[in-house]
Homo-oligomer: A and B are copies of this chain.
Amino acid sequence: MVVTLRREVATRGQGDAHDITDIVAAAVTDSQCAAGIVTVFIVGSTAGVTTIEYEPGAVADLNRLFDEIAPRGAEYRHHLRWGDDNGSSHVRAALLGPALTVPFSGRALLLGTWQQIMLLEFDTRPRRREIVIQIVAE
């Protein structure tokens, strides 16, 4: 059984994080599937998804790491192509990845207590960010 849902999250630019655990958990509950996997997929190439203990300190620490390895103000060859200013967004998103697959059982995501699903915006401007949530289950 396959259930495909789309959700939108309004983001405010580079470094803006969103805890989307409840959105994904609700999709699983609504599907009435008992056990399976849910794939969270970010549509677009300037945001990513992972899990983290979702509190402002840890999120800021992760953003600092990205600021260090892919500084927003550096020169990027991507800028030469389109006149964009979001080369840092593209490399960060490619490195973190657009997809996360989480198992569920008993209609509940098998996350840790201090482990949330986070959408991390990397683009330099606000976006309406589309997420596909797809459940593959018995």
Which residues of A are at the interface with B, using a C-beta cutoff of 8 A?
Answer: 1-2, 4, 35-37, 39, 41, 43-45, 50-53, 55-58, 60-62, 65, 68-70, 76-81, 87, 90-91, 93-103, 105, 110-112, 114-115, 118, 130, 132, 134, 136-138
Contacts and interface: CB of A to CB of B under 8 A. Distances in A.
B94 A62 contact: yes
**Secondary structure dominating the interface of A:** mixed
B65 A95 contact: yes
B103 A50 contact: no
A114 B42 CA distance: 12
Instruction: Please give the count of copies of this chain that the complex contains.
Output: 3
B35 A4 contact: yes
Contacts of A102: 41, 99
